[in-house]
Amino acid sequence: MVTKNSRNSFYLYRIRNIFRQGLVHPWPYRIVRLALAALFIYGGVTKLIDPKAFAATISAYDLVPEAFLPVVAIGLPFIETIAGIALVFDRPWGLHLITLLLALFVFVLGYGILGDLNVDCGCFGAEDLNKQAGLREAFYRDLVLIGIVTPYLYLSRWYRALASIRE
């Protein structure tokens, strides 16, 4: 005799199994990883093309001293690009670096929103979004990336490592 509790347990097992397979299967992991890598490579390269415009955007946040603006305007996009390339080649430090960059971006965008700054986000070069509304859009996008996408990549990597140990 099948009870209601055993049916619920069966469905819960099936859902958990589907979730686990989604984390262990390599293709969703590759697609998400490559999409995130492409986003960071694109963002880094577009800012490296015009570092003066990016320096002006950084200057509007008033977080970096003037003397360090050129270093940050070239260094930050360079680090973004390197992190994206590392993620393409599935290097763990690339994912760690992207997670740190996303945390930095969320902090800076939150600062801009709370300070009611009327500046460009600066995410994909100068003039990419329309000022304050763009800051909010970029803030929410980065929250999704750091709250859903990066944990998925970490969990998937962890589950795949466990699956390979069990085999």
- Per the CB < 8 A criterion, the answer to whether 109 and 69 are in contact is no
| Residue 117's pLDDT band (cuts 50, 70, 90) | confident
Q: Whole-model pTM?
A: 0.80
Return the pLDDT at 57: 87
CB atoms within 10 A of CB 16: 10
Return the pLDDT at 3: 56
User: What would the pLDDT profile of 4-57 be if each residue is shown by its tens digit?
Assistant: 556 667 777 777 777 666 666 778 888 989 999 999 999 999 999 999 988 988
More confident residue, 42 or 133: 42
User: What would the pLDDT profile of 82-107 be if each residue is shown by its tens digit?
Assistant: 999 999 999 989 999 999 999 999 99
CA dihedral 153, 159, 163, 164 (to 10 degrees): 50
- Per the CB < 8 A criterion, the answer to whether 57 and 122 are in contact is yes
DSSP alpha helices (H): ranges in 25-120? Answer: 26-49, 51-61, 69-88, 92-114
